[in-house]
């Protein structure tokens, strides 16, 4: 059960089918463009969407809004240093800002960054620095149905081959994303992190963590990795950070705040350079684009997020939703992670070809049937067409992500999702595809306009 009770509530929109049809038509069948108050259950992201605790609000009231050297910064810095062990902590307004600060300082054009899987913004920031982003996920990740516990791992053999080959010396950093969001929210084992860290040291390449969901990763390690079964998630997380040379973190996930992030570094020279860019573009080094109250709420959230009772409930809630989804006759990317359940839209809607976007079709149907908003992760996100509109590349899988905000929805909301999916699955044959009528040159899934095919 939830190790908390509800103290403050917020109404959610209860809409009619007619209202939803009109809204979806108005936004050209792209739920990203819906107004949030047209959505009943919003599973677009687990980022910045969590519920604050009374303790977080309380420390927020004590936030020190001094321009420089605020008490809040020192409390934040001490907490993050205790958790991560890094010598320097630079606050930033969110994860991608931390990525930009790090990569535009650490990377030189022509370099390569290798990862278990880069998150979109991480990849974009690598590319903006004139570098190439290479993903080396483990082979088990390719099988959506397999229940292997650590499908977020990096492929160690492929990494060794890569580092030893002609392009090896161009690798500037290896980034381990924990948990692996781009790879279905799957965790990385401590064995894999230890071996990657050891290999990176051997080749003289720094290893960084993209630690957005470090606590969820640590929890799954205690659940599934024999050598860590008796450890607390906090001690697993501490060990993971200490294997790395630095980290970037979006605090909007596992610090359970609405805004925030940071860079952690051991290399003081690199930290000096990052700090200069931080001051020029984010804010002075003791606030980095955040308010004092934000820094205090991050520190408190980082203490709450590794509580075993909180993480156990988060796993249980995700499992509960995954069970409802399977019972509705919809397959998911197995095993269900903690931050999201990914629906296999390609398998549910085999009559819709990739270039008519089965994931988008399911996501629109979730909204029409149940007022539920979810993100397409299929060919709208990853596909490409030529100038005449003919498909030239489709996604390997047509998925829809149901992201789970922290401490926000209850089991009855999850029942509603299961019931909605059961209605959709029963009439899956009648679900239509979509085609694009207008799109932007990059990150098209956010603003593309579509119409029923
Ligand atoms: N790294 C990972 C693994 C992420 O999942 C995200 C954001 C970021 C970095 C960037 O952090 O949003 O604070 O700038 N993921 C969100 C999501 C947006 O919905 O998965 P940010």
Q: Tens of pLDDT along 292-335?
A: 999 999 999 999 999 999 999 999 999 999 999 999 999 999 99
Question: pLDDT at position 386, please?
Answer: 83
Whether 119 is catalytic is yes
* 0.90 surpassed by pTM: yes
Residue identified by tokens 């677009």 is 44
CA pseudo-torsion sign 221, 224, 227, 228: positive
43: which 2 tokens?
């599973």
Ligand 1 atom with minimal separation from the 97 CA: 14
Whether 13 is catalytic is no
DSSP calls for 191-246: HHHHHHHHHHHHHT--EEEE-TTHHHHHHHHHHH-GGGTTS-HHHHHHHHHHTSSE
Does ligand 1 lie within 6 Å of residue 103's CB atom? no
Whether 212 is catalytic is yes
Rounded to whole angstroms, how far apart are CA atoms 317 and 338? 8
Whether 67 is catalytic is yes
**To test ligand 1's pocket by mutation, which of 97, 133, 252, 298 has the most ligand atoms within 8 angstroms of CB?**
252
Cα 219 to ligand 1 centroid, rounded to whole Å: 19
Q: For 296, phi and psi rounded to 5 degrees? A: -70, -40
If we measure between CA atoms, which residue out of 362, 360, 378, 376 comes closest to residue 330?
362
Cα 47 to ligand 1 centroid, rounded to whole Å: 7
410: Cβ–Cβ under 8 A, 6 or more apart, which residues? 2
Average pLDDT, the chain: 97
Residue identified by tokens 């069970």 is 323
One of 22, 55, 120, 170 is an active-site residue; which one? 120
DSSP class of 340 = E
Per residue in 431-452, pLDDT (tens digit) is: 999 999 998 877 788 889 999 9
Cα 312 to ligand 1 centroid, rounded to whole Å: 23
In the chain, count H helices and then E strands: 17, 16
Q: In the chain, which residues have pLDDT < 70?
A: none
Rounded to whole angstroms, how far apart are CA atoms 316 and 310? 10
Q: Is the peptide bond before 179 cis (omega within 30 degrees of 0)?
A: yes
Ligand 1 atom 15: the closest Cα is on which residue? 47
Does ligand 1 lie within 6 Å of residue 45's CB atom? yes
Kind and range of the H or E run holding 452: strand 449-452
Does ligand 1 lie within 6 Å of residue 117's CB atom? no
Ligand 1 atom with minimal separation from the 180 CA: 3
Ligand 1 atom 8: the closest Cα is on which residue? 95
Does ligand 1 lie within 6 Å of residue 262's CB atom? no
Cα 213 to ligand 1 centroid, rounded to whole Å: 9
DSSP class of 262 = E
Whether 195 is catalytic is no
Q: Which domains does the chain have, with CATH numbers?
A: 17-39+307-452 (3.90.1150.10), 54-304 (3.40.640.10)
47: which 2 tokens?
């980022």
Are β-strands 399-403 and 340-344 bridged in parallel, bridged antiparallel, or unpaired?
antiparallel
Cα 431 to ligand 1 centroid, rounded to whole Å: 31
Residue identified by tokens 């009374």 is 54
Does ligand 1 lie within 6 Å of residue 116's CB atom? no
Whether 93 is catalytic is no
One of 42, 210, 254, 296 is an active-site residue; which one? 210
Rounded to whole angstroms, how far apart are CA atoms 372 and 291? 32
Does ligand 1 lie within 6 Å of residue 254's CB atom? no
Does ligand 1 lie within 6 Å of residue 75's CB atom? no
Ligand 1 atom with minimal separation from the 94 CA: 13
Residue identified by tokens 């409802």 is 324
Question: pLDDT at position 194, please?
Answer: 98
One of 22, 36, 55, 67 is an active-site residue; which one? 67
Ligand 1 atom with minimal separation from the 260 CA: 13
Cα 212 to ligand 1 centroid, rounded to whole Å: 7
**To test ligand 1's pocket by mutation, which of 32, 137, 178, 212 has the most ligand atoms within 8 angstroms of CB?**
212
Whether 120 is catalytic is yes
Are β-strands 434-438 and 449-452 bridged in parallel, bridged antiparallel, or unpaired?
antiparallel
């Amino acid at each position: 059960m939830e190790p908390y009770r509800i103290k403050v509530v917020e109404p959610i929109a209860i809409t009619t089918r007619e209202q939803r049809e009109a809204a979806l038509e108005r936004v050209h069948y792209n739920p990203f463009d819906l107004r949030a108050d047209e959505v009943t259950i919003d599973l677009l992201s687990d980022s910045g969407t969590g519920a604050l605790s009374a303790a977080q609000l309380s420390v927020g009231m004590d936030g020190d809004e001094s321009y420089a050297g605020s008490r809040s910064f020192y409390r934040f810095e001490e907490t993050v240093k205790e958790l991560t062990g890094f010598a320097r902590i630079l606050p930033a307004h969110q994860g991608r800002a931390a990525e930009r600060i790090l990569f535009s300082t650490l990377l030189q054009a022509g370099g390569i960054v290798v990862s278990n899987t880069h998150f979109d913004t991480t990849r974009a920031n690598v590319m903006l620095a004139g570098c190439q982003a290479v993903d080396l996920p483990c082979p088990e990740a390719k099988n959506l149905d397999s229940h292997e516990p650590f499908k977020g791992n990096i492929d160690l053999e492929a990494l060794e081959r890569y580092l030893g080959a002609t392009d090896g010396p161009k690798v500037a950093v290896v980034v381990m994303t924990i948990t692996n969001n781009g790879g279905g929210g799957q965790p990385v084992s401590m064995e894999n992190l230890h071996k990657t860290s050891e290999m990176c040291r051997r080749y003289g390449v720094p290893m960084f963590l993209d630690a957005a969901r470090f606590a969820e990763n640590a929890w799954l390690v205690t659940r599934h990795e024999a050598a860590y079964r008796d450890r607390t998630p906090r001690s697993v997380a501490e060990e993971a950070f200490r294997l790395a040379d630095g980290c970037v973190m979006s605090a909007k996930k596992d610090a359970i705040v609405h805004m925030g992030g940071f860079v952690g570094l051991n290399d003081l020279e690199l930290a000096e350079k990052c700090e200069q860019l931080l001051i020029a573009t984010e804010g002075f080094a003791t606030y980095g684009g955040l308010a004092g109250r934000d820094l205090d709420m991050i520190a408190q959230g980082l203490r709450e997020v590794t509580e075993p009772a909180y993480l156990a409930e988060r796993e249980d809630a995700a499992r509960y939703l995954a069970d409802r989804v399977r019972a509705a006759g919809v397959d998911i990317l197995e095993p269900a992670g903690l931050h999201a359940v990914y629906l296999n839209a390609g398998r549910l809607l085999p009559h819709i070809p990739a270039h008519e976007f089965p994931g988008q079709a399911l996501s629109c149907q979730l909204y029409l049937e149940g007022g539920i908003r979810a993100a397409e992760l299929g060919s709208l996100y990853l596909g490409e067409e030529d100038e005449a509109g003919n498909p030239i590349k489709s996604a390997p899988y047509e998925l829809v992500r149901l992201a789970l905000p922290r401490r926000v929805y209850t089991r009855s909301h999850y029942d509603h999702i299961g019931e909605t999916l059961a209605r959709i699955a029963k009439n899956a044959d009648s679900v239509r595809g979509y085609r694009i009528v207008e799109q932007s040159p990059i990150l098209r899934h956010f603003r593309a306009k579509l119409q029923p095919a």
